[in-house]
């Protein structure tokens, strides 16, 4: 096939929709780092002109903001859906749900865990992460008060340890592996909360 024959196919590539552009942009941000990624390099990776990219997203910052919302919105939704049971039951629901979100939104959560606060968008995301951690810490504290988890561990330390384990999943989990999301969530609960059982 000649170069002339390939040109129309190249022009036809901008068949990306907004979600597809976002998925590819997130991969590039993860591979290269957000700060090191230019709009020109994103457009090149997509096979689009910069103007075609701007048709879908006004800026690189908007791409980041939408990507981080995918992760943060999912995690915050888990907290909102935790129900009205005991503090321990709600903590279990949050941990279980967080694992499911992480697996479902793996690239987005990976990106969230790599932001460093170098822009307003990143700083806003980090503040939402801190608010999520505070809410989970409150659940741990309530579970300690009701006597359903051990009380000799500082609740904020327990939260960091729990989500250190959950967040580490982004480094090693592969959807094509042996465990699906529900099995992985079950295993996380077994390890995390058996470690918190009141002695």
Identify whether residues 8 and 82 lie together within a single domain.
Answer: no
pLDDT of residue 179: 82
**52, exposed or middle or buried, with CB in 10 Å at 0-12, 13-18, 19+?**
middle
Can you read off the two tokens belonging to residue 56?
């879908």
What does the alpha-carbon distance between residue 56 and residue 8 come to, in Å, rounded to a whole number?
Answer: 21
Identify whether residues 148 and 178 lie together within a single domain.
Answer: yes
CATH (domain of 178):
1.10.357.10
Separation in Å, CA 21 to CA 42, 81, 103: 9, 30, 20
Separation in Å, CA 27 to CA 15, 17, 69, 114: 19, 16, 16, 12
pLDDT of residue 16: 80
Identify whether residues 44 and 82 lie together within a single domain.
Answer: no
Which has the closest alpha carbon to 193: 154, 161, 145, 156?
A: 161
Identify whether residues 110 and 156 lie together within a single domain.
Answer: yes
Domain membership flag for residue 139: yes
Domain membership flag for residue 142: yes
> How many other C-beta atoms lie within 10 A of the C-beta of residue 167?
16
Identify whether residues 98 and 170 lie together within a single domain.
Answer: yes
Identify whether residues 119 and 50 lie together within a single domain.
Answer: no
CATH (domain of 17):
1.10.10.60
Q: Which of 18, 34, 57 is the last residue of a domain?
A: 57
Identify whether residues 24 and 116 lie together within a single domain.
Answer: no
pLDDT of residue 168: 93
SS3 188: helix
Domain membership flag for residue 18: yes
Identify whether residues 53 and 74 lie together within a single domain.
Answer: no
Number of domains in the chain: 2
Range of the domain at 180: 62-194
Identify whether residues 110 and 23 lie together within a single domain.
Answer: no
Q: Which of 33, 57, 81 is the last residue of a domain?
A: 57
The pTM of this model reads 0.84
Tens place of pLDDT for every residue, the chain, 199 residues?
A: 444 443 333 343 447 889 999 999 999 999 999 999 999 999 999 998 898 898 899 999 999 999 999 999 999 999 999 988 999 999 999 999 999 999 999 999 999 999 999 999 999 999 999 999 999 999 999 999 999 998 999 999 999 999 999 999 999 988 777 788 999 999 999 888 876 655 5
Identify whether residues 43 and 70 lie together within a single domain.
Answer: no
Domain membership flag for residue 199: no
Identify whether residues 18 and 69 lie together within a single domain.
Answer: no
Identify whether residues 94 and 165 lie together within a single domain.
Answer: yes
């Amino acid at each position: 096939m000649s170069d002339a024959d390939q040109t129309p196919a190249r022009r036809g590539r901008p068949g990306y929709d907004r979600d597809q552009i976002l998925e590819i942009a997130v991969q590039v941000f993860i591979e290269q780092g957000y700060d090191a990624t230019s709009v020109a390099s994103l457009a090149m990776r997509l096979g689009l002109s910069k103007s075609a990219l701007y048709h879908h997203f006004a800026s690189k910052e908007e791409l980041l903001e939408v990507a981080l919302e995918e992760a943060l919105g999912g995690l915050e939704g888990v907290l909102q859906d935790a129900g009205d049971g005991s503090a321990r039951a709600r903590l279990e629901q949050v941990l279980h749900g967080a694992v499911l979100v992480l697996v479902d939104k793996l690239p987005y959560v990976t990106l969230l865990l790599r932001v460093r606060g170098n822009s307003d968008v990143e700083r806003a995301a980090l503040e939402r992460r801190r608010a999520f951690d505070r809410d989970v810490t409150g659940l741990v504290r309530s579970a300690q008060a009701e006597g359903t988890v051990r009380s000799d561990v500082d609740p904020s330390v327990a939260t960091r340890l729990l989500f250190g384990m959950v967040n580490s999943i982004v480094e090693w989990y592969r959807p094509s592996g042996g465990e699906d999301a529900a099995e992985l969530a079950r295993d996380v609960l077994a390890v995390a909360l058996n470690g918190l059982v009141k002695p």
